[in-house]
Amino acid sequence: MLSLLWLVPALPAAGFVILTLFNRHLSRRAAAVIGVGSIALSAYFALSAGLDFMVNPPAGHAYRQVLWTWFDVAGLRPQIAFYLDAMTVVFMLVITGVGLLIHLYSAEFMRDDAGFTRFFMYMNLFVAAMLVLVLADDLLLLYLGWEGVGLCSYLLISFWHTDPKNVYAGRKAFIVTRVGDTALVVGLFLLFTDLHTLQIQPLMAAAQQHWAAGSGVAAAAAALLLVGALGKSAQLPLQTWLPDAMAGPSPVSALIHAATMVTAGVYLIARTNVLFSLAPDVRFTVAVIGTLTLLYAGLSALAQHDIKRVLAYSTISQIGYMFLALGVAGWSVAIFHFMTHAFFKALLFLSAGVVIESLGGEHDIFRMGGLRRRLSLVFWTFLAGAASLSALPLVTAGFYSKDEIIATSLGSVDGGVWLWAGALAGAFITSVYAFRLVFIVFFGETHTEVTSRPGRRMTVPLVILGVLSLVGGFVWMPEWMGGFDPLARFLETALPTTAMTGEGTGGSAAEALTGMVLSLAGIALAWLFWMRRREATAAWAARPVVARTQRFLLNGWGFDWLYERAFVVPVKWFARVARDDLVEPVVTGIAWLNVRGWQTLSSSQNGRLRTYLAVAGVGFVAAVAFVMWGWQ
C-alpha cells in the first residue's frame, strides 16, 4: 500500500500533536497508548509499504508521493513530497521497527517519571522528524527533518532538566551539531545557486551533467555536506557531544544511537553519493575520517568506566565504520552495517538501562559485577549485543556487516591497505572493550545488590532485539559462504555498486579469517585481563604511565579541553568585552528613563482624595481658560 506512505511520518507527528495539546489531561495509561500506538501504527504502514515495494517494485525502483507545494519563491519551489527507494525502505523499517521496541520499553522504563507524557511527546516528534529526513524528496525537506532531530535530541538529552549538568549536555549537543548544520545550509545554498533545484534526484542528475569529476565546485559542495554529516554523526572532529549525550534517559540514548540522529549523516552521504563520486578527494577524506574516528573512539571506549559512555564511544566507532564504507564507495555495505548496528546498539543500550535501573541508578561498571545470575535474561541479551558488536564469527549479525566493510576497504578500487589495517585494528579493539564490559559487569564479585527486576514490556523488546542482533546478518552473506545476499541485490536498485579491483584476496575466506581471528583474539584478551587475572590488571592499571594514558583516553583525548580553550574561552571573553560598547548606554538609558517615569507617575497615585480634587480643579480651570483664551 504505497499510497499510504504519507501516514508513516504523519502518525508519529499526530501523536506528538495530541500529546502536546492534551498534555495535562491525559493519564499515564492514555499517554503510553498514544505514544506507543502512534509508532506501532506507523511501523505497520511502513512494513506494508516496504513489503509492497519489495514484492511489486514500482517503475524505476522508486516511488514518489507529492502531497503539496511547500512554497514558491523566486524559482525555489520545494514540494512536500516523499521519495521511497530501496535505501529509504531499509531506513524506514529500522527507524519505525527499532523505534517501536524502544517506545514499548520506555512505557515501563519511565513509569515513575513525572514527565511521562512530555517524554513520549518528544520521542514521537523525534521519530517523526527522522522519518521526514529519510523520506524527503527534497533537500530542503530533508533539512527540516535534520533540524527536527537536532531539536529533539536537545530536548531529550536535557530531559531531566532540574540537574544543570544534563542541560549543559543538551546544549553542548545542540551547539556542536549546529556547527555542522551551518556547513550543510551553506552547502544547500551552493547547490541551489549552481543547479537551481533542491529536489534530490534531478539535483543529482544535474550535478552529473554540469560538473566535471574532480571539479572545485563539486568538491566544495561535497565537503560542506560532509561537515554537516560529521556534526550529526559525531565523527572527528565534531564528536565531543555524543559521550555527554548520555545525560538523557537510557531509551533516549538507544533511540539517538540506533534508530535516529547519528545515522542521519550516513544517510545524507549515501543519498548524495553522486556528489561524492564527483569529488574523489572528499570521498577519500570520508574514508580517512571514518578510519581515524573508529580507532579514536575504540581506544577511548577502552578506558571508560561509565557503562553508557563505553557504549557511546562504541557508537562513534561503529559510525566510523559506516563512514569508512561510504568513503570507499561501499554505499550498500554502509547501509547494511547501519541496520545491524541499529539492532545491537539499541539492544546494548536498553540492556544497560535495565542494569542501571536494577542497581538503583549505578553507572560505574566497577561497582557492578556478578550480575550473570541475578539478571540472567539481561545477561544473555547483553551478551548477544556485545558478541554482535565485536563481530563474533558466523553466528552474529555484526560479523557479516563488519566483515563486508573490512573486505570492501581493501577490495574496492578506492580502498587501500592502510584503511584495511585500520579497520582490522578497530575490530580487535572493539571486541576487547565490548567483552571488557561483559566480564566486568556480569562476572566476578557482586558490588551492588539488585533492587528491582524488569517487567514484560522491557524484556520483550530485549529478546526481539537480541534475536535480530544474531540473525539479522544472514540477509547478506559473503561469497565464500554461498553468497546469499538478497539485501545487497535489493539495495543495488537504489545505490551504485562498488567497483572492485578484483585483485588480491578481497572478500575471500582467507581474508575473512583474519577478521575472525582478530575478533576472537580481542575476546580472549578481554577474558585474560578482566576475568582470569583481574588483580594483575588492576595492579598494572595503577602504574603511573598506564594511569596517565587511561586518563587521557577517559577524557576523549583532550578534545573538550582543546575546544574549551580554542573556542569557548575566546567567545566568552569577547562577549564580556563587547558588553560595554556604544549601544549599551542607549539601551540602558531607555530602560532607566522608563523606570523613572513609572516612579513619578506611581507617586501621584497616593489615595488622598483632596489632592485628586485639587488637581482636578486646576485641570478644570486650565481647560476652561484654554477654551476661552487659548485659541488666539
Partner 1 sequence: MIAVVSAGHGLALAAILFAIGFAGLLARRNLIVVLASIEIMLNAAGLAFVAAGARWGQADGQVMFFFILTVAAAEVSLGLALAISFRRYLRRLDVDRAERMKG
List of residues contacting partner 1 (CB under 8 A) = 605-610, 613-614, 617
How many Å apart are CA 520 and CA 329, to the nearest integer?
28
CB of 141 to partner 1, least distance (A): 56
Least Cα distance to 494 among 311, 272, 320, 301 occurs for 272
Cell 561469497 belongs to residue: 479
Nearer to partner 1, 162 or 606 (CB): 606
Number of CB atoms found within 10 A of residue 237's CB: 17
CB of 619 to partner 1, least distance (A): 13
Dig out the grid coordinates for 333 from the structure: 555495505
CB of 632 to partner 1, least distance (A): 23
Q: Please report, as a single letter, which amino acid is at residue 6.
A: W
Residue 396 exposed, middle or buried by CB count within 10 Å (0-12, 13-18, 19+)? buried
Nearer to partner 1, 55 or 609 (CB): 609
Cell 519563491 belongs to residue: 73
Nearer to partner 1, 209 or 603 (CB): 603
How many Å apart are CA 242 and CA 236, to the nearest integer?
11
Nearer to partner 1, 600 or 603 (CB): 603
How many Å apart are CA 334 and CA 402, to the nearest integer?
9
Q: What is the DSSP string of 278-308?
A: H-HHHHHHHHHHHHHHHHHHHHHHHH--BHH
Q: Do 519 and 427 meet the contact criterion of CB atoms below 8 Å apart?
A: yes
How many Å apart are CA 187 and CA 206, to the nearest integer?
16
Three-state SS at 446: coil
CB of 601 to partner 1, least distance (A): 14
Nearer to partner 1, 193 or 606 (CB): 606
How many Å apart are CA 436 and CA 328, to the nearest integer?
31
CB of 611 to partner 1, least distance (A): 9
Nearer to partner 1, 55 or 628 (CB): 628
Number of CB atoms found within 10 A of residue 255's CB: 30
Three-state SS at 474: coil
CB of 605 to partner 1, least distance (A): 7
CB of 596 to partner 1, least distance (A): 22
How many Å apart are CA 479 and CA 127, to the nearest integer?
36
Dig out the grid coordinates for 19 from the structure: 500529546
Backbone phi and psi for residue 6, each to the nearest 5 degrees, phi listed first? -60, -25
How many Å apart are CA 461 and CA 586, to the nearest integer?
60
Backbone phi and psi for residue 396, each to the nearest 5 degrees, phi listed first? -120, 155
Q: Rounded to 5, what percent of the chain is helix, strand, coil?
A: 75, 5, 20
Nearer to partner 1, 193 or 605 (CB): 605
CB of 131 to partner 1, least distance (A): 57
Tell me, rounded to whole angstroms, the distance of Cα 488 from its chain centroid. 24
CB of 617 to partner 1, least distance (A): 6
Nearer to partner 1, 517 or 618 (CB): 618
- Partner residues linked to 348 by β-bridges: none
How many Å apart are CA 516 and CA 425, to the nearest integer?
12
Least Cα distance to 352 among 371, 331, 328, 327 occurs for 371
Nearer to partner 1, 582 or 627 (CB): 627
